[in-house]
Chain A
Amino acid sequence: MPAAPHPEGTDPCSDHGGEGPTVLDLPNVPMALKREWLEAETRRHFLARGSKALAWAGLATLLGRSAPHLLADTSALPDRRPHFAPKAKRAIYLFMAGAPSQFETWDYKPKLSGMFAQNLPESVRGGQVLTGMTASQAGLPIAPSLFKFSQQGRSGQWVSELFPHTGKVVDELCVIKSLYTEAINHEPAILTMTTGNMFPGRPSLGSWLAYGLGAINEELPTFVVMTSKMPVKQNVQALSNRLWSSGFLSPEYAAVALRSGSEPVLYLKDPRGLSRDMRQAMISGVSELNRQLFERVGDPEINTRISQYEMAFRMQASVPDLSDFSDEPASTWDLYGPKAREPGTFAYNCLMARRLAERGVRFTQIFLRTWDNHTNLPAGIRAMCEDSDRPTYGLITDLKRRGMLDDTLVVWGGEFGRTVYSQGTLTADNYGRDHHPRCFSMWMCGAGTKPGMTYGETDDFSYNIVKDPVHVRDLHATILHQFGFDHNKLTFKSQGLDQKLTGVLPARVIPEVLA
């Protein structure tokens, strides 16, 4: 704990003619920074604080402590204990942004092969409204998957030829074919998947977990996001930090986004000539000033700022080790493939996710974009799978052989499904698919999910769900359950409501997918 500031007038070290030291007296802090602070002083703060610019207690901290520390207002901290003993300690969420087609990936529809180019029967669609993208088409011609499926593993699940590697671990996967959502466009749908709500401003799943569980390792962020290099340059959807924001939770629960490239965190390296000690003194000083500011104005954002400075400082030490892959055994590259050496690729990010998990990061979300195959789907999805199949397999296998799959949940999936009918011209070897929120496929693996099973069923056209529907809320409830939380009880009061990830409509844990 920081030393308690001395009440006005009782400062035992108050000399300087009663004036006390000023910011300018801080040792080892560049002059420019001191000036910036002084200029940032507002009149109100100045008046509120009186003439004593910096309590001696602060200086003592600066001079005497060896490490920066958190201002731990423990009374404001949530109870970090899960409601019951968790199965999952961490999760790696492979977010396939843009919405991979279920037809070519996990929802095998053999009957379609005899229906090439036939119009989708009215009875299947049931009058459901079409999107603007396909409403003006002359017809809704059925496009069977161009890719073959075969039964693999002891579980005999149907695997697409696009997943030659993932097929080898299909006995680890719990495939859910009956996800559905209300959102039909990317941004709201991705927001629904990441935050449980299509409107921006809610905390992300990872933020809820960070809030509920706290960190395993204080040297690293609890929630990390990585976006991957795009395998193709078409159908690019923007990804914004709304997707990993902490919403109304304290900003400290937002994800730290690791960049691709040689510097995963920008500005983390000290500029030349600034020693680590100097940096430490500076951050301690800034934290102390912020702490005093907090004492006066009580804005919780200030604590967040303090913890971010201090986190950044700790990451300066922990991140270089994290991104130095030279300690990886040769078998790693055999698993993830050669692309894993190239920063920013999906393969690299998968390996990085394992390294983060080893070091205690709770939730790592890897985004892989450009699954949005409105046109030229066969070529597009082939490129996507070529890029991601082997690393996905690599990650699962790697976690498993290291004994980490036991308590690491891996989730794979996009934000909605795609249509059985072709968007645009259908030919023997080319077609596209439009957005389809009424059913889509995902899989989970590890951390007490049931391995080698398929849950839920869609009709022969993968248009409607016919068995065991799973709303995004149910998925969220199930994930929280694996982390030891009753989704109805992991709440945070905001705007007069006990907010929760799963919102107000009923959500249920899916016991059938749990081992």
Chain B
Amino acid sequence: MRSPGLLLLAALACSAEPATFDGRVAQVLRDNCSQCHGERKQKAGLRLDSHAAVLLGSKDGPVVEPGNVGASELARRISLSPLDDDFMPSGEHPPLSPSEISLLKAWIAAGAPATTPFDSPAMEPAAAPPPAAPDYGPRLALARALAGELGVTLVPRSRIQTDGLILRTAGAPSRCDDQALARLAPVSDLIVEAELARTRVTDKGMEAVGAWKNLRRLDVTRTAVTSDGLAFLAPLQLLESLNLTQTRVDGRGLALARKFPALRRIWAFEGP
């Protein structure tokens, strides 16, 4: 039995615009099967290069039963051991990847529609990002211990160990002050983002932050930081975003900040 949901999906596909068959399912079939089941050769009388042809099947009948993976010869063929005589793609062709196999099966399960979300190319896995900071691995324990002592948190931005750390204070903003910032020196090159909103940091603290050379984002919303403090940040070559909401940074400070080499975004809502 097909579930009502799948029927709906299939119905959606049938009533959509003229069947284009150019998405991922089509691409997998084209890349792996059409040399033997396409325009030039039609092994077993089967073509797999259009939606209609796939549904038509081979000289022996249908190879896809929409909504029923178990009854679909195509699904069976691609799921066999590559050593099996019936295994597809046959010959020298490498087997489909597990994700390609599950894509084809899911497509059949969903009623083998011509246009569906399956037709959109999958998001390519992002290339490894350029390192934002040195590998945090060797110093993560140190960073955590230090943070614990100071009442702040230092958390990895991601599992990619060169993505850097985020300095967080939201749990206990009143515990974070200038002294705490100074004491983070041993791990400061790992800090890529500093969330210092509502903390007790002042201009003095910015002096410490000015040495955090990998810092990209700094938020000092609702702190006592002034334009004098901003002057300390001039050495930060990578600082991209600076949040000065509800601080006393004035026009002079903003003019200073605009000269920072990498700065792209700055907020000064509710300034003086």
Contact across chains for A511 and B103 when beta carbons are under 8 A apart: no
Q: Which single member of A82, A406, A468 contacts B241 (CB below 8 Å)?
A: A406
Complex Cα spacing A471 to B117, Å: 7
Would you give the 0/1 interface string for A289-313, flagging 1 where the beta carbon is closer than 8 Å to chain B? 0000000000000000000000000
Contact across chains for A403 and B221 when beta carbons are under 8 A apart: yes
Residues of chain B lying within 8 A (CB to CB) of residue A339:
none
Contact across chains for A126 and B15 when beta carbons are under 8 A apart: yes
The smallest C-beta distance from A212 to any residue of chain B, in angstroms, reads 11
Complex Cα spacing A401 to B120, Å: 36
Q: Is A182 an interface residue (CB 8 A)?
A: yes
Residues of chain A lying within 8 A (CB to CB) of residue B15:
124-126, 128, 464
Known: A219-B171, A471-B117. A438 touches B12 (CB 8 A): yes
Known: A84-B129, A85-B158, A403-B221. A511 touches B123 (CB 8 A): yes
Residues 256-272 of B contacting A (Cβ, < 8 Å): 265, 267, 269-270
Contact across chains for A506 and B117 when beta carbons are under 8 A apart: yes
Q: Which single member of B107, B116, B172, B219 contacts A403 (CB below 8 Å)?
A: B219
Q: Is A203 an interface residue (CB 8 A)?
A: no
Complex Cα spacing A509 to B123, Å: 6
The smallest C-beta distance from A407 to any residue of chain B, in angstroms, reads 9
Q: Which single member of A85, A124, A511 contacts B163 (CB below 8 Å)?
A: A85
Contact across chains for A329 and B270 when beta carbons are under 8 A apart: yes
Contact across chains for B122 and A508 when beta carbons are under 8 A apart: yes
Residues 133-179 of B contacting A (Cβ, < 8 Å): 155-160, 163, 168, 170-172
Known: A83-B159, A464-B15, A508-B120. A360 touches B171 (CB 8 A): yes
Of B3-11, B36-44, B57-65, B203-211, the one contacting chain A is B3-11
The smallest C-beta distance from B113 to any residue of chain A, in angstroms, reads 10
Complex Cα spacing A470 to B120, Å: 10
Contact across chains for A402 and B245 when beta carbons are under 8 A apart: yes
Residues 358-381 of A contacting B (Cβ, < 8 Å): 358-360
Complex Cα spacing A340 to B241, Å: 30
Residues of chain A lying within 8 A (CB to CB) of residue B163:
84-85
Q: Is A81 an interface residue (CB 8 A)?
A: yes
Q: Which single member of A358, A465, A508 contacts B12 (CB below 8 Å)?
A: A465
Residues of chain A lying within 8 A (CB to CB) of residue B172:
219
Contact across chains for A359 and B126 when beta carbons are under 8 A apart: no
The smallest C-beta distance from A414 to any residue of chain B, in angstroms, reads 18
Contact across chains for B156 and A81 when beta carbons are under 8 A apart: yes
Q: Is B16 an interface residue (CB 8 A)?
A: yes
Q: Is A80 an interface residue (CB 8 A)?
A: yes
Q: Which single member of B106, B171, B267 contacts A216 (CB below 8 Å)?
A: B171
Q: Quick one: closest B residue to A359, CB to CB? A: B170
Complex Cα spacing A504 to B158, Å: 25
Complex Cα spacing A95 to B46, Å: 48
Q: Is A77 an interface residue (CB 8 A)?
A: no
Q: Is B185 an interface residue (CB 8 A)?
A: no
Residues of chain B lying within 8 A (CB to CB) of residue A125:
15
Residues of chain A lying within 8 A (CB to CB) of residue B103:
506
The smallest C-beta distance from A69 to any residue of chain B, in angstroms, reads 12
Counting chain A CB atoms within 10 Å of each CB, which of B115, B117, B170 scores highest?
B117
Complex Cα spacing A216 to B243, Å: 18
Contact across chains for A216 and B156 when beta carbons are under 8 A apart: no
Q: Which single member of B17, B116, B158 contacts A466 (CB below 8 Å)?
A: B17
Contact across chains for A84 and B267 when beta carbons are under 8 A apart: no
Known: A464-B16, A466-B17. A182 touches B5 (CB 8 A): yes
Contact across chains for B120 and A468 when beta carbons are under 8 A apart: yes
Complex Cα spacing A218 to B173, Å: 12
Q: Is A180 an interface residue (CB 8 A)?
A: yes
Q: Is B212 an interface residue (CB 8 A)?
A: no
Q: Which single member of B12, B16, B160 contacts A84 (CB below 8 Å)?
A: B160
Q: Is B239 an interface residue (CB 8 A)?
A: no
Q: Is B225 an interface residue (CB 8 A)?
A: no
Contact across chains for B116 and A469 when beta carbons are under 8 A apart: yes
The smallest C-beta distance from A197 to any residue of chain B, in angstroms, reads 11
The smallest C-beta distance from A213 to any residue of chain B, in angstroms, reads 9
The smallest C-beta distance from A118 to any residue of chain B, in angstroms, reads 19
Complex Cα spacing A154 to B127, Å: 32
Known: A80-B155, A508-B120. A403 touches B171 (CB 8 A): no
Residues 232-255 of A contacting B (Cβ, < 8 Å): none
Complex Cα spacing A322 to B17, Å: 51
Contact across chains for A403 and B117 when beta carbons are under 8 A apart: no
The smallest C-beta distance from B154 to any residue of chain A, in angstroms, reads 12
Complex Cα spacing A360 to B155, Å: 14
Complex Cα spacing A204 to B227, Å: 44
Residues 227-244 of B contacting A (Cβ, < 8 Å): 241, 243
Would you give the 0/1 interface string for A437-464, flagging 1 where the beta carbon is closer than 8 Å to chain B? 1100000000000000000000000001
Known: A506-B103, A511-B123. A182 touches B8 (CB 8 A): yes
Complex Cα spacing A128 to B267, Å: 52
The smallest C-beta distance from B62 to any residue of chain A, in angstroms, reads 22
Contact across chains for A83 and B221 when beta carbons are under 8 A apart: no
Q: Which single member of A216, A401, A469 contacts B117 (CB below 8 Å)?
A: A469
Counting chain B CB atoms within 10 Å of each CB, which of A84, A438, A468 scores highest?
A84
Q: Is A434 an interface residue (CB 8 A)?
A: no
Contact across chains for B159 and A81 when beta carbons are under 8 A apart: yes
Q: Quick one: closest B residue to A188, CB to CB? A: B5
Residues of chain A lying within 8 A (CB to CB) of residue B5:
182-183
Q: List 19 A-B pairs, Cβ < 8 Å.
A: A81-B156, A83-B158, A125-B15, A215-B171, A217-B171, A219-B171, A331-B270, A401-B269, A402-B245, A403-B219, A403-B269, A437-B8, A465-B12, A470-B117, A471-B117, A505-B106, A508-B117, A508-B122, A511-B123
Question: A residues touching B (Cβ–Cβ < 8 Å)?
Answer: 79-86, 124-128, 180, 182-183, 215-219, 329, 331, 358-360, 401-403, 406, 437-438, 464-471, 474, 481, 484, 504-511
In the A-B complex, the 8 residue pairs with the closest CB atoms? A126-B15, A403-B267, A360-B170, A182-B5, A403-B243, A509-B123, A217-B170, A401-B269
Question: B residues touching A (Cβ–Cβ < 8 Å)?
Answer: 4-5, 8-9, 11-12, 14-17, 102-103, 106-107, 109-110, 115-118, 120, 122-123, 126, 129, 132, 155-160, 163, 168, 170-172, 197, 219, 221, 241, 243, 245, 265, 267, 269-270
Q: 12 extra interchain contacts, Cβ-Cβ under 8 A, other than A82-B158, A403-B241, A438-B12?
A: A82-B157, A85-B157, A402-B243, A402-B267, A403-B219, A406-B265, A464-B12, A464-B16, A506-B102, A506-B117, A507-B117, A508-B123
